[in-house]
Structure 1
């Protein structure tokens, strides 16, 4: 803690003095930052604990099949221009993602929420969930377009989703219905800011998926780096000293220590908490690392012989939310009806729901997901052959699915989360105004690189401000 230097001191040095850069983490942010720095002539090494690149972009493929299960990021909204542009640079084909809702019949009947119930206020009974929301956020939407990003955060980040709806006169029954139908019941206590970000954009309307699997994006980025990415190197210690920075890693062969002039750290904060930090980490940074809230997410895919859900859903696919433990089912577009096997994202859960699924064994996840799915699609259980799942809260190198701030955390923690410390700059979706999205990771990488490059304009502001 005694070796604290200012950001201005760090970046006022001539560029040739900061040529060796270590990038911690080979997720999207790390790979993009490494590629940009290498293109500007820096000597870059990427250290990744896993035996794969991609981080929370994680595609699992069934043996002997072209079926791909997206355990992490699975869609790219059309207006996420940086991500779309990256896919174009790599020659990746984007296909429509089945974003549409296929109905909320289960959401109502299985939750006990009845629109005719006296628990709803008079104005609520004549409107569905979406109409209530749109009426409620009219003034907030105006703020979204007229205020600066900082002003908007200061005004609205103090409230949770539940707190905001209560402040606008919603009944408890209407809030319950909103949580179920919009797939947010387990996150109603988190900041309403993320809800505004996503509903005021087209994130869930027009989106793409990558033909062949989402992991083709990080794999393509890694291919351009060639031998710069070292897998199987788990960061154990970061020492920011007077003459440079040292990063100690654990590998299958033992400890390996790397020395560099700068570090770009993209490790999720729950993972960074397990690293021994020596040197210029300010109290504000340490507080952000300790306190920033990460949400849990668990996905359970079922392998089926036939897509029996086609009768109720249709070939275009889509999603449905429910109060049942599976919470949300994502139906793929049936492009190949003649395929001999099909994968269905039978259960997608967040927050407390996801933690409960994480506590189950693979066989128990398959059994419960099949049971709940059978209620919506009678006879589907006879088609189930197996399952594949992933719980991000139990992932050693993620310890959570994405940053999802509690009320006030974006306002109080983001500046410290992003601010460089000594010779270390930070990137990742948690260091952006679009947490939980690939676009946020890409944006943060561009911001980190802009801090390092000597041509950064005087007084330039990073995009999170």
Structure 2
């Protein structure tokens, strides 16, 4: 049946991933295929020589907009920031008890206990996102470890092991054991003699024996050495019955049904590798730290309606969201960080090529659901401390909090974080039905506790957030080739910034790097004008 199968090209594969999984999945795939690398951050810009009285308007008080304002102010510009929402931060967003979540068609009251929170947007910072880490240090944002990978967390697939979740550890160890045994057999049978030298063959056999924990016969079987990686039926102890008893290994077919390599690849991706960090108390402490530096320059509750420019400067028309009063702001230059789905609806005076780039940039969707539980049963009952359990149900995953371990009282699980189809399924539900779905699907991991320990929940569907209408930009290779340079170009007196104007889409690192690039180019043009 596969005789006529033609494998997809690398470009075809990336295009399919981008369409199905969004920018985050695309970037992760690019990383695996060698198309992405570390942050390009080499230190903050050294902008000097701003002309006396020079002014800049910044549209949007997310991290890209506030970093732009921060660095331009240090350079000597007079800066004003216009923000649609009544809070700064944009997708750098944390919800706590007492907050309200407003989506298109619904409003939710958040009832989390004091100290508990959900990060609907970014929730972790990779060690190589040097721009974010630099400004966290400069602005005094305290960070703590984010527990990314947990070998005792669970993996669930409906068509594997009768739908019963299995520890990631067991599946991972069994997978490498079976693969090692198969490769060892192929090597010993001479099947690869035309591919590897005798010396490399010997090294590979040694590697497979050690990596796969194979026995003296090069077979992957139950045993003490396997137990030291996989775990035990009876753990090592003291005294008379101290000897451990290894548990049984899973068969190759069951392991293949689990598709455990998907999860192994997830943790191997550059942006998913440890070490990771999170701000203590919520991701929005980064946004708050930037806001503390530029608050006097930010006008909240201001909806932009028109952006115009001429050879002398820029003019932005806006409406106050509380009073409906119309206003207008003028400046010499403009940094626009408004998300593309919203910017596409505005009257903006830029080139046709830039307008086409804005129109050509759809945003993928995602949903996050926070479930507050009465106690940390995943720790006390199952010894799961942080990390992620994966499922092929629409919720995608359950993530256990990295902070507050060993404490008593309620805590918030991330009860769903899907991209693609799962995100649209959940986004199409009412907030109440999303919670019910997350509880039903998450119960596959902890059937005895999940619903019984549930207290309350909150959710954010990014496609229904009126100030962005999506999660993040979903570039493809083709759209980047056609439109990216037009999107990021300095068009007259206007330049765009944000994660969509970077190759680090869906990450704060991309938003900050794009802002630094935008203000540097704007400053060079302003000084030369």
Of 146, 159, 171, the match for 1:97: 146
Distance in 1 (alpha carbons) for counterparts of 2:69 and 2:116: 31
Give how far 1:328 is off: 1.1
Residue equivalent to 2:357 = 288
Residue equivalent to 1:461 = none
Residue equivalent to 2:239 = none
| Residues 201-223 of structure 1: per-residue CA shift (max 9 Å, x gap) | 25432110000111111111111
Distance in 2 (alpha carbons) for counterparts of 1:109 and 1:296: 26
Distance in 2 (alpha carbons) for counterparts of 1:359 and 1:398: 17
Residue equivalent to 1:268 = 339
Give how far 1:391 is off: 0.7
User: Over the residues paired in the alignment, what is the CA RMSD in angstroms?
Assistant: 3.1
Give how far 1:17 is off: 7.8
Secondary structure at the residue paired with 1:453?
helix
Aligned pairs for 1:248-327 within 5 A: 248-251=317-320, 252-253=322-323, 254-278=325-349, 281-310=350-379, 314-327=383-396
Give how far 1:260 is off: 0.9
Aligned pairs for 1:109-124 within 5 A: 109=159
Give how far 1:179 is off: 9.5
Secondary structure at the residue paired with 2:418?
strand
Structure 1 gap ranges (5+): 1-13, 115-122, 132-172, 185-197, 459-465
- The 8 Å contact of residues 315 and 333 in structure 1, kept in 2 or not, is answered as no
Distance in 2 (alpha carbons) for counterparts of 1:110 and 1:47: 52
Residue equivalent to 2:474 = 404
Give how far 1:182 is off: 7.2
Residue equivalent to 2:443 = 374
Distance in 2 (alpha carbons) for counterparts of 1:73 and 1:204: 16
Aligned pairs for 1:388-399 within 5 A: 388-399=458-469
Distance in 2 (alpha carbons) for counterparts of 1:25 and 1:401: 16
Cα separation, partners in 2 of 1:179 and 1:287, compared to 1, 3 Å: farther
Distance in 2 (alpha carbons) for counterparts of 1:15 and 1:91: 27
Secondary structure at the residue paired with 1:375?
coil
Distance in 2 (alpha carbons) for counterparts of 1:334 and 1:368: 25
Distance in 1 (alpha carbons) for counterparts of 2:452 and 2:287: 37
| Residues 242-275 of structure 1: per-residue CA shift (max 9 Å, x gap) | 4321101111221111111110001111110111
Residue equivalent to 1:39 = 74
Distance in 2 (alpha carbons) for counterparts of 1:328 and 1:97: 16
Cα separation, partners in 2 of 1:101 and 1:34, compared to 1, 3 Å: same
Residue equivalent to 1:208 = 277
**Number of matched pairs:** 379
| 2:511 is the counterpart of 1:441 | yes
- The 8 Å contact of residues 487 and 501 in structure 2, kept in 1 or not, is answered as yes
Between stretches 384-393 and 286-295, larger displacement belongs to: 286-295
Cα separation, partners in 2 of 1:271 and 1:110, compared to 1, 3 Å: farther
Cα separation, partners in 2 of 1:58 and 1:202, compared to 1, 3 Å: closer
**Larger-Rg structure:** 2
| 2:374 is the counterpart of 1:339 | no
| 2:461 is the counterpart of 1:426 | no
Give how far 1:310 is off: 2.4
Cα separation, partners in 2 of 1:82 and 1:292, compared to 1, 3 Å: same
Structure 2 gap ranges (5+): 1-48, 99-112, 165-174, 184-254
Residue equivalent to 1:453 = 523
Residue equivalent to 1:62 = 97
Aligned pairs for 1:181-260 within 5 A: 181=263, 201-251=270-320, 252-253=322-323, 254-260=325-331
Secondary structure at the residue paired with 1:434?
coil
TM-score by length of 1: 0.75
- The 8 Å contact of residues 22 and 46 in structure 1, kept in 2 or not, is answered as yes
Give how far 1:68 is off: 1.4
| 2:128 is the counterpart of 1:82 | no
Give how far 1:366 is off: 1.1
Of 28, 39, 59, the match for 1:24: 59
Give how far 1:110 is off: 5.7
Give how far 1:32 is off: 0.3
Give how far 1:53 is off: 0.6
Give how far 1:449 is off: 1.3
